Amino acid sequence: MTDSLERVADPVLREQLARIRLSYGDIITSKQLQQEIQGFQSQRGIYKPAGSQHALWVRQTLRGVYADEEPETHSDGSWTFRYSPEGRDGKPDLTLPTNQGLLRCQADRIPVGVFRQKDDRSGSGEYEVLGLAFVEGFDGNHFVLRGEPIDWTAVPQPENIVPTFKPFELNPSPVEAVSRVMRDRRFGVVIRRIYREKCALCSVGYRLRGFSLGLDAAHIIPVEAQGIIADVRNGLLLCKNHHSLFDNYAWTLDEELRVLLTKDEEFRRSAALNHVVSWEGKRLENLPASSEDLPAPEAIKWRLAEFERA
């Protein structure tokens, strides 16, 4: 599949959508978005630029009058978000120009940007950039928006199908090599989301001034071994302490998601006060809510073999 933005004829619309894609996962103040994104200063809900047939973005606010639903994340990093249409007299009205703009996006397979307001105590107004999404349809109450996967050139599987896990990046082309850094960043955003910004092993999740600290998205099959970076089933969210120990094969997990510890006596003595020792033989507690997003058995088997060799 080619980049969906190549289908966007309007250069201004294409540039705005590309900017939203690059901001994937960022938390941005309302003031900054007003300066960078068309219509953000004046328009709520759905924004369709004047003269355009397509909507450019939608945003969910904390005090919105419509009942939107929480996004559901999938193993390829895509997500489903059911977004309420604009209406009259408390009822959806698909004849409104804004709703028509989303329907035209559906017909032409043109993505829209999605923003969600964060609970910001400072009062400055902050939004999470969910990224770009395709309008999959209208279920009678909500527009069904499907976010781009980690690899934005791939086609997401239907919601009721869990894609086959492919452990390795196969024959990456030069274009893929250029985009790998961006995909790795997107991988990290999704891993943080599905692990609720807490370490899978110790459940630590430090927060300071509204941001999480000290957490890394760890690859079960490392990037150096061509491990897949477009599938969250090759990942764990770990605090920096337990990520370092994981990378050096001081511990790993088995296919039952239980903690295995190296037999190295020097490590065991030096790590006597570390959480990893107390978790030996126990199942990781902080795991994704959906079984679709759990670490893949194929990735764990690879890691176990490397653990034994180490």
Query: What mean pLDDT is reported for the chain?
Result: 92
Judge whether 109 and 134 are in contact, CB under 8 Å: yes
Contacts of residue 99, Cβ cutoff 8 Å, sequence gap at least 6? 46, 85, 86, 92, 93
- Which homologous superfamily does the CATH classification assign to the domain defined by 4-147? SRA-YDG (2.30.280.10)
- Per domain, the residue ranges of the chain are 4-147, 174-309
Write the DSSP string, 278-297: HTBTSBPSS--SSGGGSPPH
Q: What is the pLDDT of residues 145-167, one digit of tens each?
A: 999 999 999 988 888 888 999 99
pLDDT of residue 69: 80
Q: What is the pLDDT of residues 228-241, one digit of tens each?
A: 999 999 999 999 99
pTM summary value: 0.92
Split at pLDDT 50, 70, 90, the class of 124 is low
pLDDT of residue 1: 58
How are beta strands 91-92 and 112-117 bridged, if at all?
Answer: unpaired
Tokens coding 144: 């069904």
46: exposed, middle or buried (Cβ count in 10 Å: 0-12, 13-18, 19+): buried
